[in-house]
Amino acid sequence: MDSITQIVLGAAAGDAVLGKKIGNRAMVWGAIAGTIPDLDVIGNLWMSEIDSLAFHRGISHSFLFSIVGAFLFGWLVHRMYESQFHKPIGMTGWIALSLAAASVFLFIGDLSIVKIVFGLAIGIGGSYLTYKRFNRPAFTRPEASLGDWQWLFFWGLITHPILDTFTAYGTQLFAPFSNYRAAISNISVADPVYTLLFVIPLIIAAFYHRSKPIRKKLVWTGIILSSFYMCFTLYNKFRVNQVMEDTLIAENIEYSRFFTSPSILNNILWSGVAETEDGYYHGQYSLMDKEPKFKLSKFDKNHHYIANASKDDKVLETLRWFSDGYYTIMKRSDGNLQLNDMRYGTFRGEGNSENDFIFNFPIEQNKDGSYKLIKTQGGPPEGTDMGQMAQDLWARIRGI
């Protein structure tokens, strides 16, 4: 899910494990643990476009990394606090973390003036606040054992990939032993309801001393409420799957499989795609619709465009794996081909334009016949009227 939600989840896990002993520092270290798996985006600095796509939500999101990382990071933090130089070591580490967070912010998506300003604010502001914090005389060693720190990092790390598994993107929980991408797809990558149920009790809890019983109650209130909401999304997934199956039967569509997922920022409007021999039927359904039925449109697979490609072509093989085989091919206006991930569908429904697809991959053929991924494109294209898009989304959520 989005970085803010993962930070909040990590903070809640940290406080639940160690908050009674070390107070708000448990939230801070838990938030760091919840952020670590997503630092795999730093690989974008030296990896190719296709390797970066395969690497994200890979080994850093595995059960193995959570276990090994818990021992390693827990030991490092424990050693830092045990050292007589824990202040300068900690301050250096926090400044480095601030700069790393700024770098991650800058390298996600396209660069802009706004992103540069916010990135510099994160890096410089975080460094300044770290310097001020570590120079306070009250900064003392926390009363936490090595096992305490390792337990905190374990829960901060492992809750991250587990939460990601509930989205549609796919998470390699069993790497490096398997490249299987687990995706339950019952919640959007950004769902404000889930996040707010977590963050509001957590913020209130931070203002109470660690010895106050209400602090623990507030933290667990956030955990329980958000878990109930997650169960609600799973129930919605079950309902939507039934609607999708009934729609396909009613329209006499012979399908081999189908996939459903909620649209961004909500759990009411869902998209669905069903695979047939020569194409895909894709459409949307809102739980507020008067009729329980998906409004489906057909998209040709057009896999013949890459029929002559080598079966071992790295780019095509990776893109097939990433999209779980739900993809169409189209010719772009620049003469290149474009692979469209049909799990995410389209903005407008028609799919006539190369900019209609939410997740797409322009590819270029090399002289030797192999393919090169030009760029991973996700989200609205440049120049999109975001205000109008938000209005259209809200109107569709309310049902037809």
User: What pLDDT, on the 0 to 100 scale, is given for residue 162?
Assistant: 97
Q: How far apart are CA 378 and CA 108, in angstroms?
A: 11
How far is it, in rounded angstroms, from Cα 5 to Cα 229?
A: 14
Q: Full-prediction pTM beyond 0.95? A: no
pLDDT at res. 119? 72
CA–CA separation, 264 and 262 (whole Å) = 7
Given this model, what pLDDT does residue 138 score?
42
pLDDT the model gives residue 396: 93
Chain-centroid distance of CA 14 in Å reads 20
The pLDDT value given to residue 382: 76
Instruction: Show me where the domains of the chain are located.
Output: 3-189, 251-400
At residue 80, the pLDDT reads 84
Residues of the chain short of pLDDT 70, as ranges, are: 94, 101, 104-112, 114-115, 130-140, 348-351
> In terms of C-beta distances under 8 Å and separation of at least 24 residues, what long-range contacts does 120-124 make, across chains too?
122/98, 123/98, 123/99
Q: What is the pLDDT of residue 281?
A: 96
